[in-house]
Chain A
Amino acid sequence: MSDLFWIFVSAAVVTNFVLVYFLGLCPVIGVTNKSVTGLRLGLATTFVMVLASLAAWVLNRFVLANAPYLRVIAFIVAIASIVQIVELFIRKTSPGLYRELGIFLPLIASNSQVLGLTIFQTNRGYSLPEGLMFALGGGLGITAVLAIVGSVRERLEFAPIPAVARGPALVFLIVAALSLVFMGFAGMGTA
């Protein structure tokens, strides 16, 4: 039990997917103009990650045992299919949410966080519950970072920023500071 808890904590803060593993930086730059958007995309990504973790476990267990070199291809196809199914499902059940998520939903398929998750999970030999906790922790950690960067950028809208720092450059310096803060968690947990 405590193992599962520490896997969750390390995936969420100690080895945060965005700040420590550098995964999924495009959404950090692209969709954090508002913290609410960041939050929603983060939750959608978390959902896909949990499903992808399950799929990767099934593939590893039953299909890929003798063909490790096919891993990346198999994972990427599985992730793309999951995103497609989730998209269809959300469109049928709640058109409102579907409109809100818009283009972000299909783009999760080309997101390195999800593929990274499946590969880390395979390399570390996680069992099914461990993998699911890893996915959940990682996803919530991403959500937190997207929301934090979003709220900082909301305040920046009204700040007098020199022209040279506008755009991604400043966002990266903010993320650098945030990453420095999260380094404070290093040494905790299993990572």
Chain B
Amino acid sequence: MSLVVKETSTPATAGGVLTRGLWHQNPVLVQTLGLCSALAVTNAVANSLAMGLATTFVLVSSSIIVSAMRKFIAHEIRITTYILIIATFLAVADMLLEATVPDVHKAMGPYIALIVTNCIVLGRQEAFASRQPVGLSVLDALGNGMGFTIALLLMGIPRELLGNGTLLGVHVMPGSFEPWVVMMLPPGGFFMIGILLLIANWHDLRKVARERARAAVSVAAPVPARTARKPEAAVV
């Protein structure tokens, strides 16, 4: 995957900047970025949540610094500079997690350090924070971080539920349920992301088909101007 995310036109409103990352440009499900950490830690809901929030924290903090310093960072060394800024906030997040939730910190092991090489974090600096004012960059980082968290939970909830019969450690499945251990193991992670991407593909194809059908109808029988449906906002 290329680090430089293809940017469609920046949404006009601040709200658009915030919500874009949540669904239409979800970093994991649509852009397939940041997969390593998305797969590695999602065998339990608590770990997924911690990873999502830690990444959001690193993303938002580094976006603030990168955006505030965007006029001073020389073009040739920008990637190195971004990585250093990201690694600094990572060290902060690492120590915060270790102090507040030591069990989760232990379960996530080396994957916390690997937030540095998460393409989402670097990608947003390069594609957005290095060009936009601080306020918008924070919104963009927040949207993408929450989108990442949502995707992690979409993977973590079914994996913990099917693989262990629990949710956040509490038993919820009936006693007769035989846990699908494979969902907790690495192959389960790959299956889960495969299935989520299939669903995302299916959703996209259906949307395209619907738009095409609508276009065909409006060509065949143009609707009177008064009742004509407003064109839907362009989906980015």
Contact = CB atoms under 8 A, between A and B. Distances in A.
B114 A116 contact: yes
B127 to A, nearest CB: 15
A63 to B, nearest CB: 16
Contact of A164 (B32, B193, B202): B202
Contacts of A176: 187, 190-191, 194
Contact of B40 (A22, A169, A180): A22
B218 interface: no
B12 to A, nearest CB: 30
A29 B1 contact: yes
B201 A169 contact: yes
B83 A172 contact: no
A21 B122 CA distance: 21
A120 B84 CA distance: 21
Nearest to B88: A73
A73 to B, nearest CB: 4
Contacts of B36: 22-26, 112
Contacts of A23: 36, 114
Nearest to A24: B36
Given A72-B90, A172-B193, A175-B190, A110 B3 contact: yes
A166 interface: yes
A112 B117 contact: yes
Contacts of B141: none
Interface string B45-62: 000000000000000000
B154 interface: no
A163 interface: yes
B197 A183 contact: no
Contacts of A120: 110
Interface string B102-146: 000000011001101111001000000000000000000000000
A80 B80 contact: yes
Contacts of B95: 69
Interface of B: 1-3, 32-33, 35-37, 39-40, 80, 83-84, 87-88, 90-91, 94-95, 109-110, 113-114, 116-119, 122, 182, 185-187, 189-191, 193-194, 197-198, 200-202, 205
Interface of A: 19-26, 29-30, 69-73, 76-77, 80, 107, 110-112, 115-116, 119-120, 123, 163-170, 172-173, 175-177, 179-180, 183
26 contacts: A22-B35, A22-B40, A22-B186, A23-B36, A29-B1, A29-B32, A71-B113, A72-B116, A73-B88, A73-B91, A107-B3, A110-B117, A111-B117, A112-B114, A115-B113, A116-B110, A119-B110, A163-B201, A165-B198, A169-B194, A169-B198, A169-B200, A172-B194, A175-B190, A179-B190, A183-B185
> What are the 7 closest A-B residue pairs judged by CB atoms, nearest first?
A176-B190, A169-B197, A172-B194, A173-B194, A112-B117, A179-B187, A22-B40
